[in-house]
């Protein structure tokens, strides 16, 4: 399998190294749009494109994958609603794995939260805290939004982003974003009940975990039917 990487930043470089270290996958090209490079410049065969770049590159990515009939693994966050619809439309023609976080641990954490939240929600308050490096643009993180969606699947809770002023807590989930230093990524979900606290936390030690997950998703996408998938499909079985 030959993979093209969209985005030659820090994450792209880690991904390239991960690909070099694994069997059955090789690097076809690394494209950096900020340098004027385009996916359509690639002459050789591409079996999958892994995107760790910027939302502004989405149209180029989708056009390329449709033209080459190759899957896409999208690890970029911060898309608009219109862009999310573009991803959905493209997935009708080629396999697309789209997730806010490609860590295997986060994927399992999401599954756990979706199962325990309905059990605890009547007697526990729920809070989500996420921490990232000072270069991250979007807040809260796409991963935090994904985790909140897992525990608020029915939309029964108001999602409160930070707090200020004087008011009593309502039926809500607090979401808090911290930016500083070189934090690779921390996500902490707190269930606070009467006289007891349950915390489920994930800490990313380096970017390598996201690269490993993206390669796993690429292997899945190569044999998948057209459709929109996430990391739960990759780990627990596709649609």
136 is catalytic: yes
Concatenate the DSSP letters of all residues of 79-135 into one string: --HHHHHHHHHHTTTSEEEE-S---HHHHHHHHHHHHHHHHHTTT-EEEEEEEE-TT
Which residue is catalytic, options 136, 145, 176, 208? 136
The CA distance from 180 to 78, in Å, is 19
b/e 107-122 (16+ beta carbons within 10 angstroms → b):
bebbeebeebbeebbe
Among the listed residues 110, 132, 202, 207, the single catalytic one is 132
132 is known as an active-site residue? yes
The CA-CA-CA angle for residues 192, 147, 22, to 5°, reads 130
Active site residues: 132, 136
């Amino acid at each position: 399998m030959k993979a093209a990487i969209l985005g030659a930043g820090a994450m792209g470089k880690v991904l390239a190294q991960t690909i070099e270290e694994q069997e059955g996958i090789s690097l076809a090209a690394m494209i950096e749009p900020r340098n004027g490079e385009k996916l359509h410049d690639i002459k050789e065969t591409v079996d999958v494109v892994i995107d760790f770049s910027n939302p502004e590159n989405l149209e180029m990515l989708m056009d390329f994958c449709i033209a080459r009939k190759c899957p896409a693994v999208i690890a970029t966050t911060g898309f608009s609603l219109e862009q999310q619809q573009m991803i959905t439309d493209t997935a009708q023609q080629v396999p697309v794995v789209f997730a806010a976080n490609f860590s295997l641990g986060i994927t399992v954490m999401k599954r756990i939260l979706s199962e325990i939240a309905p059990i605890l929600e009547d007697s526990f308050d729920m809070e989500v805290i996420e921490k990232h490096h000072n270069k991250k643009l979007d807040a809260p993180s796409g991963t935090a939004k994904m985790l909140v969606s897992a525990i608020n699947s029915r939309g029964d809770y108001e999602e409160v982003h930070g707090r200020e002023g004087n008011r009593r807590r309502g039926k809500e989930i607090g979401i808090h974003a911290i930016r500083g230093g070189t934090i690779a990524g921390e996500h902490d979900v707190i269930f606070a009940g009467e006289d007891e606290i349950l915390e489920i936390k994930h800490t990313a030690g380096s970017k390598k975990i996201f690269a490993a997950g993206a390669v796993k998703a690429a292997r899945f996408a190569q044999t998948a039917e057209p459709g929109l998938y996430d990391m739960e499909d990759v780990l627990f079985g596709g649609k």
